[in-house]
Structure 1
């Protein structure tokens, strides 16, 4: 009758070799299936730790990229808002020039005053421009508008520009400007200068004083034009800085991603070749073991 040799009669070293080879075969099959060389920390503890650190770096980069995108949006919105404002200042100076002419009668001066009133309200609206849930020119003061929408009086609550860090290890940069930084000069606001010019056009009863007020308003509007140009230049410089930072972040992110791939991805061709070799090795071991068992059976009769 046939005699079956139990596994216990196979040498322990051979059993260990079979188990090791089967495990190796399983690992290679998983690598080919997942495309990953490291599927769990035990596959390569050092490599797994490296991948974890690299993924942490990518998460940090993604955080700064998100901040940079928001910064670009805010700066772009501010830059676009200045377009209309600067055009309005040009119009204001044109109206003041007409008001300074001796050929302009009172009816025309009243019409000029009415248009200045509308432009003043436009400036207040510009100062209080919203960007989503924020006041675009509110800076760190976001609970109240920069200028009272009814009286045109600036907020008594102080504010500074919002600063954010765009890249790791760098200084924070401003992502906008405050309304008072370009609508106030020498302790006087643009709305006050508007009011004086409007009153002069409508006539205070003192033609000489009215003429002087209009001339002063013309000078003041030039000051506000310069302030607007300076602030817009600052916005432009910061937009350029953010753009460059975003490019650097993107480059670093690609480099980190490549490092992750190099650390954890499997070489398909190499894994496939190793799989074939391992399968061949396992088959050879099993064949040798089987021959050994048959020899033992023959010996036992």
Structure 2
């Protein structure tokens, strides 16, 4: 039988190349800790891993939206609490003016009412990440306390302000969440059939206190009470919404941990198994190298 050293050498060399490829793959897996480095390693596992990664990215997007909604809600709650405190203080001054504990000659209380008004306008114009809390679709501040706007019938509501806008974010595959409160429901009151914003009533109350018009003060105190009820109602809505968002965030966090664990099971390598295989391949490679070296030194004279 004729022995072909050329064909044997070729087969041995091809085996060495395959072993070298396996060693490189196993070395990469050992260093990266990943079992799947390319689709060919496990096509079905690779596809499952891609699906899991997509799902984790979606969960991350939902979590970011919820975080935004929670911060927006917290900013809204802070603004509403500030407005409530200011209106409560305005009512205290009004009560003092009616029962005589506030001296009508004392201009300090009128000046304090001016300060309360300015702070209330500032709170009503609060923004979060570039959006007005109570006018999310407005490009300009919804309330304007400048003298140039003082002649406006809805002063200090700025002309053209949109208090009805809604801002929603996606918090689940089929779940959207509104993150703002309706500015109209927050500030506009039906004052005897005439719709006025609650900040207008601060202006009217300040004027009534200045001239010590008891009847007007008592009337405006009623509207101040309605404004406080509106602020309280909206604060409750924000609190309920934030509680729901926090529960959803907890559920998403748990689901993300679960998906990440599944992805780890699909992608991550068993280091003990990988190192064992690597040692076996390296041993085989070294043995094949020795055989190849022996064959390379053979010639016909050795067999004569």
Normalised TM-score (structure 1): 0.82
Residues 184 and 190 of structure 1 are in contact (CA less than 8 Å); yes or no, is this contact kept in structure 2? Answer: yes
Cα displacement (A) at 1:130: 2.7
The alignment of Structure 1 onto Structure 2 pairs a total of residues equal to 289
Q: How does 1:37-76 map to 2 (within 5 A)?
A: 37-76=35-74
Residue in structure 1 matched with residue 204 of structure 2 by the alignment: 196
Q: How does 1:26-105 map to 2 (within 5 A)?
A: 26-101=24-99, 105=103
Superposed CA RMSD: 3.0
Residues 59 and 256 of structure 2 are in contact (CA less than 8 Å); yes or no, is this contact kept in structure 1? Answer: yes
Cα displacement (A) at 1:295: 10
Aligned equivalents of 1:113 and 1:162: distance in 2?
Answer: 38
Cα displacement (A) at 1:198: 2.7
Residues 13 and 292 of structure 2 are in contact (CA less than 8 Å); yes or no, is this contact kept in structure 1? Answer: no
Residues 68 and 166 of structure 1 are in contact (CA less than 8 Å); yes or no, is this contact kept in structure 2? Answer: yes
Q: 1:104 to 1:54 in 2, by over 3 A?
A: closer
Aligned equivalents of 1:245 and 1:117: distance in 2?
Answer: 43
Residues 146 and 179 of structure 1 are in contact (CA less than 8 Å); yes or no, is this contact kept in structure 2? Answer: no
Q: 1:191 to 1:289 in 2, by over 3 A?
A: closer
Aligned equivalents of 1:86 and 1:63: distance in 2?
Answer: 34
Residues 10 and 289 of structure 1 are in contact (CA less than 8 Å); yes or no, is this contact kept in structure 2? Answer: no
Residue in structure 2 matched with residue 168 of structure 1 by the alignment: 173
Cα displacement (A) at 1:281: 4.1
Residue in structure 2 matched with residue 126 of structure 1 by the alignment: 123
Aligned equivalents of 2:13 and 2:220: distance in 1?
Answer: 99
For structure 2, list consecutive stretches of 5 or more residues without a partner in the other structure: none
Q: Alignment partner for residue 231 of structure 2, among 228, 233, 253?
A: 228
Cα displacement (A) at 1:12: 6.8
Q: 1:8 to 1:214 in 2, by over 3 A?
A: same
Residues 93 and 109 of structure 2 are in contact (CA less than 8 Å); yes or no, is this contact kept in structure 1? Answer: yes
Residues 99 and 112 of structure 1 are in contact (CA less than 8 Å); yes or no, is this contact kept in structure 2? Answer: no
Cα displacement (A) at 1:254: 1.9
2:189 matches 1:185: yes
